[in-house]
Amino acid sequence: MNHYELAKEILVLVGGSENIAQLNNCATRLRMNLKDESKIDLNKIKELKGVLGAAKKSGQYQIIIGTDVSNVCDEIRKMGQITESSESNQKNGKLDALMDIFASIFTPVIPAITAAGMIKAILVICVLFGMNKESQVYTIFNFIADAGFYFLPVMLAFSSAKKLGCNPYLAVMMGGILLHPSFTKMVSAGDPVFFLGLPVKLVNYGSSVIPIILAVWLMVYVERFADKISPKPVKFFMKPTLTILIVAPIVLIVLGPLGSYVGTVIATVTDFLNSRVSWLVPMLMGAFMPLLVLTGMHWSFLPILMTSYSTYGYEAVMGPGSLVSNICQGAAAFCVALKTKDRQFKQQASSAGITALMGITEPAMYGVTIKYRKVLLSVMLGGGAGGFYAGLMGVVRYTSGTPGLLSLPIFIGDNPMNVIHALISCLIGFCITFVLTWFYGFNEPETGGAVELDKSKDTDTGKQVPKSKKIIIYSPVNGRKVKLSKVNDETFAKEIAGKGMAVEPADGRITAPFDGEVVTVFRTKHVIGLRSSEGVELMIHIGIDTVELDGKYFTAHVEDGDMVKAGDLLMEFDKQAIEAAGYETVVPVIVTNTGSYLDIITSEEGAVESGQPLFTVL
């Protein structure tokens, strides 16, 4: 399927161009916010040839296409007028909304930052081969690269305005005000400057990040105010004039210096970590990057990365660790491909391994590593080890880009050993992950005649089940049982956390589904972890995104380490209050150590009472 055909199919399945509130792309993913989310058919999108995967993350629909994503995005824009808006009919949690804002503001400017960084890397290579730094060719290319960083406030002004909902050209004007030569001369002179008696702090806003975002945030409210008070006959010129006259002084006197101070704090903390415990952050990133990507939390680091690029010309927060993590995903996928006897899975894992080494980890993550907890743990341990080495050696990334073998030039800079140490850290991570996956992580279940089948059939499914390993999990709540695929959360619907079933609760009482131990009651009380006497590890997750309630409306009746009997009361929650707050109360019941068992046989959908069979573990 070519770019045009793929774009046409995607456009139909998201409800047409008129349903797209926002559209952009990063290195591998098409990202869009929709006005009416009921119109999208995510399952059919996943089945399209050319689509590697699709999910809703951080309040945004993400369609994984690969390096051709920009071409598909361009084709979609050509097919219909997209009236971009910051509104959506879907209520997202505060954390999701914040991640969505970060993604929408920073993603559009990444190509410019990447181009600037790559030109810098090319200049370094040219100097190594004899180019004179004083030559005019070097000077011209150097200021071309510098422009991508120096005018970052202008680019962020435009993307911030598009996301937050104000006039993008007034926002760009505000970015120009911060970088105007007259103001920069004042900064260079250092003489005190006052505006109507108020001191204007002299700050160099070139390459800054936080000040312009704060400025555009203020402009959203000021522009609305100016629109309300401006009479219709003169609104055309009065509204923008009032907006700039109000916003510009406030930014120069208050918000600009405040944003500069925040940026300085971020840079200082980053510098402290890099100089005192340089191994810590890359090690943690290398280990936990799969979980950050899975939850969308990696977007929260974008302001830190941009601040580091603009301050130092490089970053060591995410780049080194994410490079190693991506390579470890490939190592695990290749190992699984070698060990598995399933031909189809072998081909899938091999292909996923190749794309992971190139920096696109979604096929490996969703198709291989997350399906097996021990494989994922092997990836995390390998990533942590490689990240530890990268941190000790001071590996940094000089520009943004999807970390992988094809993008190693983003690690080329003034220190010629930087890219060498990056490669060594990848080798460490690859080897450790491969060995751990081979000997510990992946053990394919044997199904050929090893288990004696009971001649009787499961009462709910009609399937034969093993006589010696049949463990019934009972429903922990009254309500209606549904398949996990119908749960409005990708982690559960795709069985990433494990197999099981969900219950739409009729009341707010959660009881023990078997005899066993309470392993953990989360601080926010929305999740209970249990272990049965037979060793089944079970997670009862009350609601979707209810972690944001921080324990409100939940009452725990057990603690970590308590022993319980089937039917004992574990938790009570206020179903009506939670739903009134905008959250779903469906209760997924997940076997988190699914990989330790032959199969999970679910029952038919329908009414269920607490204590009745929900599914069977084989």
Q: Which residues are part of the catalytic machinery?
A: 26
The phi and psi torsions of 71 (rounded to 5 degrees) equal -65, -40
Q: Using CA atoms, how far apart are residues 458 and 613, in angstroms rounded to an integer?
A: 11
Tokens 């200049």, located at residue = 123
Q: Using CA atoms, how far apart are residues 28 and 403, in angstroms rounded to an integer?
A: 12
Q: Using CA atoms, how far apart are residues 269 and 284, in angstroms rounded to an integer?
A: 16
Q: Using CA atoms, how far apart are residues 62 and 10, in angstroms rounded to an integer?
A: 12
Among candidate residues 294, 167, 158, 307, the one with its CA nearest the CA of residue 235 = 167
Among candidate residues 499, 563, 508, 555, the one with its CA nearest the CA of residue 530 = 563
Q: Using CA atoms, how far apart are residues 600 and 603, in angstroms rounded to an integer?
A: 10
The phi and psi torsions of 517 (rounded to 5 degrees) equal -120, 140
Q: Using CA atoms, how far apart are residues 19 and 12, in angstroms rounded to an integer?
A: 10
The secondary structure of 392-442 as a DSSP string is HTT--BSS----SGGGGGGG-SS-THHHHHHHHHHHHHHHHHHHHIIIII-
* End-to-end Cα spacing for the chain: 41
Among candidate residues 146, 128, 11, the one with its CA nearest the CA of residue 74 = 11
In this structure, what DSSP letter does residue 469 have? S
Q: Using CA atoms, how far apart are residues 497 and 490, in angstroms rounded to an integer?
A: 10
Contact between residue 332 and residue 338 where contact means Cβ atoms under 8 Å apart = no
- 3-state class (DSSP) for residue 359: coil
Q: Using CA atoms, how far apart are residues 478 and 611, in angstroms rounded to an integer?
A: 9
Q: Using CA atoms, how far apart are residues 596 and 531, in angstroms rounded to an integer?
A: 13
- Tell the burial category of 517 from Cβ atoms under 10 Å away from its Cβ (0-12, 13-18, 19+): middle
Contact between residue 430 and residue 381 where contact means Cβ atoms under 8 Å apart = no
Contact between residue 382 and residue 290 where contact means Cβ atoms under 8 Å apart = no
C-alpha distances (whole Å) from 365 to each of 56, 347, 380, 431, 600 are 16, 15, 12, 18, 22
Tokens representing residue 205 in the block: 């806003």
- Tell the burial category of 561 from Cβ atoms under 10 Å away from its Cβ (0-12, 13-18, 19+): exposed
CA torsion sign for 300, 303, 308, 314 is: positive
Q: Using CA atoms, how far apart are residues 554 and 355, in angstroms rounded to an integer?
A: 43
Q: Using CA atoms, how far apart are residues 521 and 360, in angstroms rounded to an integer?
A: 35
β-pairing verdict for 527-532 and 29-34 = unpaired
